[in-house]
Amino acid sequence: MNKHLAMAALAICVFAWSPAVEADSATKPIASATKSREIGGFALGMPLREAAKLARIEPIGGYQFDTERDGLQFNFEVTPLGRIYRIQSSQRLGRFAEDEAFRSTLLSKLTAKYGAPASVTGSMYHWELVERVRSIDPVPNPFTTMWMTASISDDDGEKSLEMKMIDFRILWADQAQANQPGRAAAENRVKF
């Protein structure tokens, strides 16, 4: 299964699950696994129309869009209300031997912008925010609501920096808002 299909399947499962984060987001600032919530100028929660001001956005089906900006390739996934909740980027770095000096420089740059990663394995960097989420089960359970990864890929010696950032809370909030009119109409139609 390719990455896009896997993310779409996950989004469908998440929509069907219909969770709610325990923290009251109206009274608390949104928690984040990272200091910055953007990659290359595109931010989590950014309306697609704002992203289109930065670069030409191409729809590729469903709620996904591609673009290129400043030498980076991007793929976004948006909510039913058109806000970005997943950003994926790829940047070609060229041909070189990845060594500890390179990894140290990359870690320093990532940490300066996004904060210290929760885990580092070789050239794979990971940030995550786990919160208690209520779903069908009345007892809230831990769920990774926001996360980011950065890694170096190698295609026959050609290195690329691959990054992905996602915040399910943006998706869930917009799904709930988009559902309100239909739910209210259904509630008003119920007769006994």
pLDDT value of position 22: 47
The pLDDT tens digits for 47-100 are 999 999 999 999 999 999 999 999 999 999 999 999 999 999 999 999 999 999
Q: Which two structure tokens, joined as six digits, stand for 118?
A: 């929760």
* Contact indicator for 122, 82 with CB cutoff of 8 Å: no
φ/ψ region of 80 (left if φ > 0, alpha if ψ in -120 to 50, else beta) reads: alpha
Q: H helices within 85-165, ranges in order?
A: 100-114
The tens place of each residue's pLDDT in the chain, 192 residues long, gives 344 333 333 443 344 444 655 444 444 678 999 999 999 999 999 999 999 999 999 999 999 999 999 999 999 999 999 999 999 999 999 999 999 999 999 999 999 999 999 999 999 999 999 999 987 777 888 999 999 999 999 998 899 999 999 999 999 999 999 999 998 999 999 999
